[in-house]
Structure formats: structure tokens, C-alpha cells
Structure 1
């Protein structure tokens, strides 16, 4: 089992125990909120895992390695960035997809760029921002986010070389 998962589980349990002693009602409210989130998330997690397994079978490692692998260089990072721009799924779908890209030999930088642009930009979500932030801010924010994803992809590839 993963040591980070064990540590997070222990700290969470410790937090609940401390809150149960200090503020029992807060601990109960936390359990209620956690249960509600769990019930909402489980179907997404299950469906996403099955979808990721299926997608992993469709992804051809040779193609992923060629287009998104280390040998693709900056082009792979750029492609990962562009693919992330069109991501519309929830994190329960996108993270397993990114893990499938890793398994198919995509470079860490390309996966970083994919996940980063999906989280920061996602073109299908941009129209929802415009009424709140205006066109200028939304466009500038999107451009800066893409640049961050590209630079981050380069750094991650060099760092994890």
C-alpha cells in the first residue's frame, strides 16, 4: 500500500478523533459531508476506471510514444497541451485518461501539459467564464494558462529525465 495514502488516512482519522473530543458536532457534520461526497463520487470513479481501462486498450503505445513520447520533444508537449484544451470530462475521467497516456509511454511533460490545460483552460468551459470575468480577462487568462502548461511540460520533462 502507498505510504502517502496511509499517512493521509492516519492524519484524517486523527483529525476526526481530535474533533470528536473537542467539537463532537463538527466531527459528525464532517462525517455527513464526507459520506455525501463519497456517495456522489463512487459512481464517477467506477465508470471512469472502466472507461480508462477501455481507453488504455484503444491507445496504441507506439502511436502515443511517437506523438507524445520523449522523442516527440516540444511537439509532444504542444500536442498534450492542445488535447487538454478540449477536455470536458470530470477529474474522475481525465486523471485515468492521463494515467493511460503514461502507461502508453507518453512523456511526463506531455501528460503534465494535458492535465494542466484541461484544469486551467478547457475551451468548452471558457464561455461560462465570460459573463463573470469579461472577454479580455478570460482570453488573457487562457493564454497565460497555456503558456504555463507549455513551460511546465518542458520543466517536467527535464526534471524527470
Structure 2
């Protein structure tokens, strides 16, 4: 088991113990809320894991490396950001897909651009923004968010490479 998970589990257990000692009804309500969230998200998590496994079998590592790999450079990072724009799924689908991309030799920067773009931009959200912000504001926000995704991917790639030399 992952050590980080053990630390988070221990901290959560300690938090529940302290909450229970101070106000047992708050701890009980927190536990009920947690169970409700788990019941709501568990089907998504299970289906998404199976989908990610299937996608990982379909991804051709050579193709992923060509379009999203380190050799693709900034163009690969930009392509990752563009793929993120198309993402409309939940985090339970997108993150396993991102891990599958990493496993198929996508560069870390392209995967960061993909996940960042997915969070900041989405074609599916644009029609919902137009009535509130107007078309010019929405399009400028969209372009800036896409550029931020690419810049974040480039910065992450640079930092990841620098950090990797110290490991």
C-alpha cells in the first residue's frame, strides 16, 4: 500500500477521533456524508477504471509517443491541451485516461496540459457561458485558458526534467 495513502488515512482517522471526542454528532454526520459521497461516486470510479484499462490496451505507444511524447516537444504539449478541450467526462474518467497516456509514453508536460485544459476549458461548457458572459468574453477566456494549459505543460516538463536529475 502507498505510504502517502497510509498517512492520509491515519490523519483522517485522527480527525474523526478528535471530532468524535469533541462533538460526536458532527463526526457521525461527517461519516454519513462520506458514505453518501462514496455511494454516489463508486459506480463512476469502477466504470472509469475499466474504461481506462480498455483505453490503455487500445493506445498505440508509438502513436502516443509521436503526438504527445517528449520528442514532439511543445507541439505535443499543445496537442495534449487541445485533447483536454474535448474532454467532457468526470475526473473519474479523465485522470485514469491521463495515467494511460503516461503509460503509453506521453510526456509529463503533455499530460499536465491535457488535464489542465480539461479543467479550464471545455467545448461543452462554452454554450453555457455565452448567455452570462457574452461571446467575446467567453472566447477570450477560452483562449487564455488554453494558453495557460500549454504554458503550464511546458513549465511542468522543464521542472520535471530538472527534478528528475536530482533523484
Query: Where on the TM-score scale, by shorter chain, does this alignment land: which range?
Result: over 0.9
Aligned residues: 161
- Change over 3 Å in CA distance of 1:127–1:56 after alignment to 2: same
Mapping of residues 64-103 of structure 1, within 5 Å: 64-103=64-103
- Corresponding residue SS for 1:160: helix
- Corresponding residue SS for 2:105: coil
Q: How far did residue 7 of structure 1 move?
A: 1.1
Q: How far did residue 132 of structure 1 move?
A: 3.5
Mapping of residues 55-134 of structure 1, within 5 Å: 55-134=55-134
1:34-79 Cα deviation digits (max 9, x unpaired): 0000001111111001100000010000100011000000110010
State the Cα RMSD in Å.
1.1
Structure 2 length normalisation: TM-score?
A: 0.92
- Corresponding residue SS for 2:9: helix
- 1:32 is matched with which residue? 32
Q: How far did residue 136 of structure 1 move?
A: 3.6
The separation in 1 between residues aligned to 2:16 and 2:134, in whole angstroms, is 42
1:123-153 Cα deviation digits (max 9, x unpaired): 1122222334333432232222111111111
- 1:7 is matched with which residue? 7
The separation in 1 between residues aligned to 2:133 and 2:17, in whole angstroms, is 42
The separation in 2 between residues aligned to 1:16 and 1:137, in whole angstroms, is 45
- Change over 3 Å in CA distance of 1:22–1:133 after alignment to 2: farther
Tell which deviates more after alignment, 137-146 or 36-45. Answer: 137-146
- Change over 3 Å in CA distance of 1:28–1:123 after alignment to 2: same
- 2:141 is matched with which residue? 141
Say if 2:49 is the partner of 1:49. yes
**Structure 1, unpaired ranges of 5+:** none
